[in-house]
Amino acid sequence: MKIQSWLWSLFFAVSVAVAAGTAAKTQADSRATQKAQDAEKQSTRLIHSVEGPDLYQAYCASCHGKDGKGNGPVAPALKATVPDLTMIAKMNGGDFPGAKVRRIILGEGMIASHGSREMPVWGPIFHQVEADLDRGPVRVENLVKYLQSIQVKTKT
């Protein structure tokens, strides 16, 4: 009888531990999701700056990370793997494909990883910040230049 009672106590203790672990994981997942949503909301605020680094931090860093390596706070919540933007040139034989990057930002063409539109298309948004003046092309160009500036150096 004592063994049976001990087994039930052990079963109960394990059940409580599993339930507590599940609750803690659920709370942690909920906090991570909320943090990702907060970061995404923060990144979707329109900013008046036309500077590449400012645009990157406001619109791109929540997914791609402050350093561009794909490790932003929203990245874990996405279905697709967020690309490391510092490797664009390396993945293109050492040349930075500015025109292609520009098209991706503008949402032009079919990019497989952006087909689901998980990545917001910022180009059209950049044109709508000011009501009286269109600085969209300047923003896109400065963001492309910024992305080019953060590329890992390839050995020549």
Q: Determine, yes or no, domain membership for 59.
A: yes
Splitting the chain (156 residues) into consecutive groups of 10 residues, what average pLDDT does each group show? Answer: 44 44 54 59 68 95 96 91 95 96 83 58 81 90 98 79
Q: Determine, yes or no, domain membership for 63.
A: yes
The whole domain housing 108 covers: 44-149
Q: Determine, yes or no, domain membership for 17.
A: no
Q: Determine, yes or no, domain membership for 93.
A: yes
Is 123:140 a contact under the CB 8 Å cutoff? yes
pLDDT of residue 47: 85
- The structural domain count of the chain equals 1
Neighbours of 13 (CB within 10 A): 10
Q: Determine, yes or no, domain membership for 22.
A: no
Q: How far is CA 20 from the centre of its chain?
A: 31
Which CATH number covers residue 124? 1.10.760
Task: Identify residue 101 by its one-letter amino acid code.
Answer: V
Q: Determine, yes or no, domain membership for 30.
A: no
State both tokens at 77: 């919540």
- Cα-Cα-Cα-Cα dihedral sign, residues 53, 55, 57, 60: negative
pLDDT of residue 115: 47
Does the predicted TM-score (pTM) go above 0.85?
no
Q: Determine, yes or no, domain membership for 14.
A: no
Residue 18, Cβ density class (10 Å: 0-12 exposed, 13-18 middle, ≥19 buried): exposed
> To 10 degrees, what angle do helices 98-106 and 136-149 make?
130
Q: Determine, yes or no, domain membership for 102.
A: yes
